[in-house]
Structure 1
Amino acid sequence: MSIHVWDYVIKWGLARNPELFSDPTSYSRNDFNTLKNTLQQCIPFIKFHNLTSKDFSKKVLPYKKILPKDLYNELLDDFLNDDRKPIKKPTTNVEKFEENGINSKIITTQRAELISKWINGQKSTDELEISYNFKLLYRESVDGFDRFKKFHEICDN
Structure 2
Amino acid sequence: MHQQLTDQWRDAPTQDLIQFVLTNFHEKHRQQFPELIQLARKIESVHNDHQECPVGLADLLTEMSNELESHMMKEEQILFPMLAGGIYPSGPIAVMEEEHGEHDVMLAKLAQLTRDGKAPHGACGSWIMLYEGTQELIHDLQQHIALENEVLFREPQAVPQHGKDFCCGSCQ
TM-score, normalised with respect to structure 2: 0.22
Return the index of the structure with the highest Cα Rg: 2
Higher relative contact order (Cα pairs below 8 Å, separated by 6+ residues) = 2
